[in-house]
Structure 1
Amino acid sequence: MTLLNVVASSSSSPPHPVDDARVQLLRSLLADRDWSQDSILRTRLLQALASLRDPAGASLDEATWLMVADETARYLDFRRLRTLEAKLRGCPQEALRYTRADWEAARHAEAALESHLRHVRFSSYAPEPVPMFRIH
């Protein structure tokens, strides 16, 4: 199930608050001390969470769902890299101080490595042969 699947209540049953994995993930990212957002984004995410908790407002507009989807996708990748970093350092995740800034730096490093590997795959480290130069 994607994050864009809007939960719509049927007209015959009373509306109920959305409480699934998406909401749990949203709660988790808002509570994570290492995952920070700018104040405007945090406010919008808190409003989205409040709307999802409210029985009468369980439906969000498409722009809000896209914002929540983007932020939760970033957060899932952050958790992946934080887990990997903790394993590499041989410490529990709770002992590791890994922030959003660290995640962004790691993402840039991953992108640079991927670009380098792509370049190497289609080229060679050996220099191009120099054409013969003769003086007569």
Structure 2
Amino acid sequence: MSTNANHIESLPQVLLPGNNPNRPNRRRRIGSFRLSTLDMERFNQLLSTLTGDRPPLDCDQVVTAARLLSDSNGSQSTPTCIRQRLAQAESLASMLADHGWQPANEVRAPASAVLDYLNGHNDLIPDWIPQVGQLDDAIVVEAAWPRLAGEVLSYQDFCRLRLIEARLHQQESGAFRFDRNDWEVARRAESALREHQRRVRASSYVPTAPRVFRVH
């Protein structure tokens, strides 16, 4: 479930806001599929909802990005940059479905919007297109992630501490109460323990040796 990978590959730079390389601005086809202007407008409305101030994408940017990924991937598998963002979406789904975790109010709407798009049937790019059928899903996750990443990391730490508590209780994770408040208490206790251990390592329980007395 980890979304905290050491390296997250970037999506093609042509998708970056304000990036306007010399493109003919006429490309609309990814393979045999032609992007719809109406779908592109709806997609940009979603991105605007998730980011607030992102300049809209055009069809040519999306098509160019898809072609770059297809050309560089060299196989029928989904490019790594897309797979990594789909893994982030799986973490979102786990977080929202976990009855023990109460997501912060400010992340509920964007997280739900991301998952609604990924699970819906109004994709900008159909999933059946080889390699890049989920590029639009990755773009949506990428747009929302700055608002969601901190909450997902907190949830992952919650799962870690809940598992420790489960082992202490010798029970399954869902067999006892452990919610966000319990996680905060456990996290403070763990932090206090680490600070105590740090102080112990920096000092010593052995008393200072007495001065040597000399008899004259």
Larger Rg, first or second structure (1 or 2): 2
Do they superpose with TM above 0.5? yes
Where in structure 1 are there 5+ consecutive unaligned residues? 132-136
1:88 aligns with 2:168: yes
| Aligned position for 1:22 | 88
Please say if 1:48 is aligned against 2:114.
yes
- What do the CA deviations read for 1:82-135 (whole angstroms, capped 9, x no partner)? 11111111112221110011111111111111111111101123566799xxxx
The alpha-carbon deviation at position 81 of structure 1 amounts to 1.1
Q: Is the 8 A contact 1:4 1:66 kept in 2?
A: no
Structure 1 stretch displaced more, 46-55 or 105-114: 46-55
CA distance in 2, matches of 1:61, 1:49: 9
Greater RCO, 1 or 2 (C-alpha within 8 Å, sep 6+): 1
Q: TM-score, normalised by structure 1?
A: 0.72
8 A contact 2:103–2:151 mirrored in 1: no
TM-score (norm 2): 0.48
Unmatched 5+ stretches in structure 2: 13-64, 71-81, 125-135, 212-216
One-letter amino acid matched to 1:32: D
Whole-angstrom distance in 1 between the partners of 2:188 and 2:147: 22
- Matched residue SS, 1:70: helix
Q: In structure 1, how many angstroms separate the alpha carbons of the residues matched to 2:166 and 2:99?
A: 16
Q: How many residues align?
A: 128
**Cα separation, 2, equivalents of 1:121 and 1:35:** 35
Distance in 2 between the 1:71 and 1:40 partners?
10
Identity of aligned residues (%): 35
C-alpha root-mean-square deviation of aligned residues, in Å?
3.3
